[in-house]
Structure 1
């Protein structure tokens, strides 16, 4: 099985050999809960998301990745920010790819579907904001969620 290993400000991290545009999505339901997946590749909790395919728009990739990983169809509503820190690299053990972080984080509202895990997500949950600190996440994912919670739609997007 492919493993994903995140490195941040780590002098032992492998050098990046690719840059792949990706998207993450902060999907909320009517109760204001946030959609999280329990990733299969690193055992962390995360926002749904993934690589943007050639010929695909950012919003289309966000909707597709959310549906594939969670069973939830969403409607894009806004932008949390951009994340491209060269000190954050991700090693994929299956092929030795080492990606420099390059992610656009959008907001969305759930419109339909049932929580359904996939090969990428061993579990899918709606999580109350007050419970988020109880979920194990990579620091980069926690940062993205904290920017969403701090902004709450009232600040400019994070650019980093």
Structure 2
């Protein structure tokens, strides 16, 4: 299986020659809690987000992915946290991730059951830091440190 995935990554690299663009979203509820999703592919908690669709801008992607993965609505983009482009940040494919903090509202529920196992809100002190998917630990650390990162 690992050889098959390596082959698929090689073929994708040959076909596209460029990394894909995606988003990670730091959704802040009115009470200050941060919403995370539990991923179906690896069982880990992480920030909601996903790939930018063809013909879609990043704010639209953020709104769509937040709704698909958490059921929440975006009321406002607060700030850019960073742009993360390390080829090692996502084990599936080389991707560039634009990370933003947003104000979110509504009722949490899973819309995309193919990708998401669970959705929960955590206070900043109860986040499962150190065990998050992809490079989301770093993204949240940069967020809490007030940084705008280009990495």
TM-fit CA distance, 1:131: 0.6
Gaps of 5+ in 1: 6-13, 92-98
Distance 1:148 1:134, change over 3 A: closer
Using a 3 Å threshold, how does the CA distance of structure 1 residues 43 and 71 change in structure 2: closer, same or farther?
A: same
Query: Which 10-residue stretch deviates more, 132-141 or 76-85?
Result: 132-141
**1:90 alignment counterpart:** 91
Cα distance between partner residues in 1 of 2:118 and 2:29: 17
What are the ranges of 5 or more consecutive residues in structure 2 without an aligned counterpart? Answer: none
Contact 2:23–2:98 (CA under 8 A) maintained in structure 1:
yes
Q: Does 1:141 align with 2:151?
A: no
Deviation at 1:64, TM superposition (A): 0.4
Aligned to 1:94: none
1:107 equivalent in alignment to 2:82: no
In the alignment, the residues of structure 2 paired with residue 77 and residue 62 of structure 1 have an alpha-carbon distance, to the nearest angstrom, of 12
TM-score under structure 2 length normalisation: 0.81
Structure with more of its chain in strand, by fraction: 1
Q: Which is worse superposed, 132-141 or 45-54? A: 132-141
Q: Would the alpha carbon gap of residues 108 and 89 (structure 1) be closer, same or farther in structure 2, given more than 3 Å must change?
A: closer
- Cross-structure match for 1:73: 73
User: How far apart are the structure 2 equivalents of 1:22 and 1:142?
Assistant: 17
Is the 1:45–1:135 Cα contact (8 Å) retained in structure 2?
Answer: no
Q: As a proportion of its length, which structure holds more helix?
A: 2
SS of residue paired to 2:91: strand
CA contact (8 A) 1:34 1:127 kept: yes
